[in-house]
Amino acid sequence: MSNNLFNKKLIIFDFDGTLVDFIINYVSLRSEVIEYLKSAFEFPIDFFSIQDRVLTTLNKAHTFILKKESSYNLKSISNDVDKIMRKWEWEAARKNKIDSNVKETLKILKNKGFKLAIFTLEPKEIIEFYLKKAKIEYLIDIIASRDIVKELKPNPEHINYILEKLKVKANQAIIIGDHVIDMECGKNIGALCIGKKSKLHTKEELLASGADFIISKISELNSLMKL
C-alpha cells in the first residue's frame, strides 16, 4: 500500500455512478419536478434550468418563495418533490444491480479490516434495497443518505456523520466517488480522495477538484491499495 494510503481505517463510497450504474432518466425527472414547482407557485419565466440537479432546483425554489412569502409552508413542496424523486429512483433500482466485481472488491476490503460506508443523495431505503438484492448488506457499516442528514453534498455533513458514528478521524478515511462534489466533500475535511472516472467527469476534472488518485472501476482498488 502506498504511503498516502497507509494507516487508513475507513472507506466511504458514493453510490450512484460509483458502486452502481444508477440509470435514471434525469431529464424526465427534472422536467417533472420543474413542472410541479411551477404549478405550486408562480416563478419567473426561465427561472429553472433542466441542467440543475433536483435538490439544487428545490433549494432555488425555496429561496425565491421565502423572499415573496416568508410564512409559506415549504415542507409540503419538499415532500411532494421527494415523492417524485423516489418514484424515479425506485424505477431505476428495480432495473439495476451492483456488479459482481464491485461485490468481490467490497468483500476483499472488508476482509482486510476496513470499515465501509456509503454517503449518497439517494434515500436510505433505496440503498438498502440494492445491498439486500446483492446479498452484501452485511459488508456496509453505515449509510449516510439524504433523509438522514440536513445538509447535502458538497457540505461535509454526510462524512462527518459517518466519522462520528464509527469513531474514525478524517485523516484515517478514504473518499471514493465519480463526481467533483465527492472530491470536494473529502477535501473539506482533510480525507484522502479517489476519483472514479465516469460519463459525468473526466480524470482532469476529478484531479482539479481534489482527487489524490484516479480509477476507472472499483476493482482497480485491489491493485491501487495492493490488497
How far is Cα 10 from Cα 13, in angstroms, rounded to an integer? 10
Q: Which structural domain range is residue 49 located in? A: 26-94
pLDDT digits (tens, 9 = 90+) for 48-87: 999 998 989 999 999 999 999 878 888 999 999 999 999 9
Kindly compute the dihedral angle of the four CA atoms of residues 78, 183, 128, 151, in this order, to the nearest 10 degrees.
-30
Same-domain check for residues 64 and 106: no
CB under 8 A, 24+ apart: contacts of 102-109: 102/19, 102/20, 102/218, 102/219, 103/134, 103/136, 104/219, 105/218, 105/219, 105/221, 105/222, 106/136, 106/139, 106/140, 106/218, 107/136, 107/139, 108/222, 108/227, 109/11, 109/221, 109/227
Determine whether 185 is exposed, middle or buried from the number of CB atoms within 10 Å of its CB (0-12, 13-18, 19+). Answer: buried
User: Span 22-36, mean pLDDT?
Assistant: 91
123: CATH: 3.40.50.1000
In this predicted structure, what is the pLDDT of residue 40? Answer: 93
Select from 52, 69, 94 the last residue of a domain: 94
In this predicted structure, what is the pLDDT of residue 106? Answer: 97
Mean confidence (pLDDT) of the chain: 92
Peptide bond into 156 cis (omega under 30): no
Owner of C-alpha cell 410564512: 71
In this predicted structure, what is the pLDDT of residue 1? Answer: 43
Same-domain check for residues 31 and 12: no
Q: Which of 8-22, 63-77, 160-174 holds the top average pLDDT?
A: 160-174
Same-domain check for residues 144 and 182: yes
Same-domain check for residues 204 and 101: yes
pLDDT band for position 154 (cuts 50, 70, 90) = confident
User: Span 123-152, mean pLDDT?
Assistant: 94
CB under 8 A, 24+ apart: contacts of 199-205: 200/17, 205/180
In this predicted structure, what is the pLDDT of residue 3? Answer: 44
Same-domain check for residues 139 and 203: yes
In this predicted structure, what is the pLDDT of residue 227? Answer: 60
Counting residues of the chain whose pLDDT is more than 70, the rounded percentage is 97
pLDDT digits (tens, 9 = 90+) for 33-50: 999 999 999 999 999 999
Same-domain check for residues 114 and 214: yes
pLDDT band for position 179 (cuts 50, 70, 90) = very high
CB 185 within 8 A of CB 175: yes
In this predicted structure, what is the pLDDT of residue 50? Answer: 95
Of 87-96, 134-143, 164-173, the one with minimum mean pLDDT is 87-96
What is the distance, to the nearest Å, from the Cα of residue 89 to the centroid of all Cα atoms in its chain?
A: 13
User: Span 139-148, mean pLDDT?
Assistant: 95
Q: Smallest Cα–Cα separation from 22: which of 106, 122, 167?
A: 122
Select from 66, 94, 122 the last residue of a domain: 94
Select from 67, 94, 121 the last residue of a domain: 94
User: Span 3-17, mean pLDDT?
Assistant: 86
Same-domain check for residues 106 and 199: yes
pLDDT digits (tens, 9 = 90+) for 201-210: 889 999 999 9
Same-domain check for residues 155 and 88: no
Structural domains in the chain (count): 2
Same-domain check for residues 219 and 158: yes
Same-domain check for residues 151 and 219: yes
Pairing mode of beta strands 173-177, 142-144: unpaired
Q: Check whether 107 has a pLDDT greater than 70.
A: yes
Same-domain check for residues 30 and 16: no
